[in-house]
Chain A
């Protein structure tokens, strides 16, 4: 008898020792990586980051270097050389794919591949920053509004409405001229714009979050939390918001793509990426010219595909994260 008990005890001890105890974080990570699509998404993003970070060091060309071509000899001449003033010099615009230019040159005579790499830096970066800002503000405001209700809710939602009523394009034009008047260097315009976009977009996030919370706060576990007398901030932050997490993740991943697209409109308004720098948005912009659409696929298709892949990847990652965080997932 004692033998048996001892043996059982030993088994149990062994069992406990051999059990792999995972922290919650590790649990999430494990579930995330089990999701094949999420891994693919993560892989794509990493490849993009590497492409944009390291690529420029490999490319021999500058981001906005224009290439001249000698119309008589057909020989290409780079911008820094002296002979560019010659009378038979033309600019090598819309050059086809060649070994010198892997994706040809664009309508201003700049190497497309190099610009793709530099452009990615901006496009990848912009999305993340803006979404981070809008989420922080939006979730907080939406959470407070949804939780407290009443007057607080009224004020915050009215604020949201005011923000939503501001017409986008006139505002951007004003900001563009204000930035110019305050002497902001063109390269720095984009940082200001990121901040402003984040500040403008919190309104949409807040409304969605608040909507969810309105229905969640009446659930039993919230009543329980109330009964136990937990601090309000803890109630909001640790109980309500994590249950809104799926929506938040969704907003985040979709807005990252949306911001990249908005950026292409912004450059048209003069507030986006300053000339002559590249971004995927302003590279895809040229598709509006039917001449380029028809005859020069190498100029617009690569940035389009890059944007597509990036947005897809973020969406897969978002899905994976949502599944990973969800405590009710059976798998």
Chain B
């Protein structure tokens, strides 16, 4: 196993390198460059000024030279300065990471806590009322766009009943610190987390249920029951482990999702997280930020895949590499 992990890590570096070329190409092909975007509404910008700005931002270099200079800096850990925020890319990512991480992390935990038990329950009671309701709720969650739920929940809870704040991360008017601040932020997170969980829980639930259905009709489960084991043990010790493979796969892809944020939800609730910033960067043509951020996510994706693969072997001893 250790050899396998090491081999994978080495190959990942190669992959990252290839991905960086791809990403750089994409970042440059996105239409509109930064200078023309910011001067588009300004009636007074002269061509000379645009040219000067282009030089200042290094946008007058061709893609190949630009990539090489980016690579040279990146290897040393310098991902450049964002055009939009005028700060180093790494410090921007670190600054906004906590909010995104908190939101995504809490949501992920809740999703798993809800999806797994409910999925198992639905599988055990297949074709019963419980099963239908659970599946219906899961499907409603994944069949409507997230902004739909966000808008409706906002309407009902924030505007209609007034028990939760409409948007933002903290109450601006007050000056909370310490625990009060934490509680205030928690309150502001309730709606976004609900939207997140609602929209993603459904798919996990369905995977769990499907696999569980498979497993529950298997012979070894029948044997376990025949042996007189309590149902709880049958499920927990025998059946459940065999349903884990797809969950582990999805778990691996959740890791990059933790950081890439949910663009739509963040913008609806005015939370400044990495997703929203990345979107702004795309539209503005902020190449340094795009490169830094996408490379970060790419690295996480590779790590996520590795984690999934390792967990396969842990969860299912039959798996061999």
Contacts and interface: CB of A to CB of B under 8 A. Distances in A.
Nearest to B290: A170
Contacts of A288: 147, 151, 268
A275 B226 CA distance: 63
A311 interface: yes
A308 B19 contact: no
A207 to B, nearest CB: 6
A226 interface: no
Contact of A293 (B151, B245, B249, B278): B151
A298 interface: no
Interface in A162-182: 162, 164-167, 169-171, 173-174, 176-177
Nearest to B247: A211
A119 to B, nearest CB: 15
B144 A214 contact: no
A254 B206 contact: yes
B320 interface: yes
A257 B144 CA distance: 9
Nearest to A264: B145
Contacts of A190: none
**Chain A: number of interface residues, binned into ranges:** 35 or more
A234 interface: no
Contact of B301 (A164, A218, A265, A326): A164
B269 to A, nearest CB: 13
Contacts of B18: 162
Contact of A215 (B207, B294, B305, B316): B316
B219 to A, nearest CB: 9
A310 to B, nearest CB: 8
Contact of B29 (A166, A174, A319): A174
A162 B26 contact: no
Contact of A328 (B218, B248, B302): B218
Nearest to B143: A311
Contacts of B258: none
B102 interface: no
Interface stretch (A46-54, A59-67, A128-136, A153-161): A153-161
A285 B217 CA distance: 43
A206 to B, nearest CB: 10
B80 interface: no
Given A170-B282, A315-B135, A161 B15 contact: yes
Among A158, A204, A308: residue with most chain B CB under 10 A: A158
A161 B302 contact: yes
Contact of A261 (B30, B145, B151): B145
A43 interface: no
Given A154-B11, A171-B26, A211-B245, A177 B31 contact: yes
A329 interface: yes
Interface string B260-276: 00011000100000000
B161 to A, nearest CB: 15
Q: Residue among A254, A284, A304 with the most chain B CB within 10 A?
A: A254
Contacts of A315: 135, 139, 206
A162 B319 contact: no
Interface string B160-172: 0000000000000
- List of 10 A-B pairs having minimum Cβ-Cβ separation, nearest first: A311-B143, A165-B298, A218-B318, A177-B31, A215-B316, A211-B249, A214-B319, A257-B143, A174-B29, A165-B19
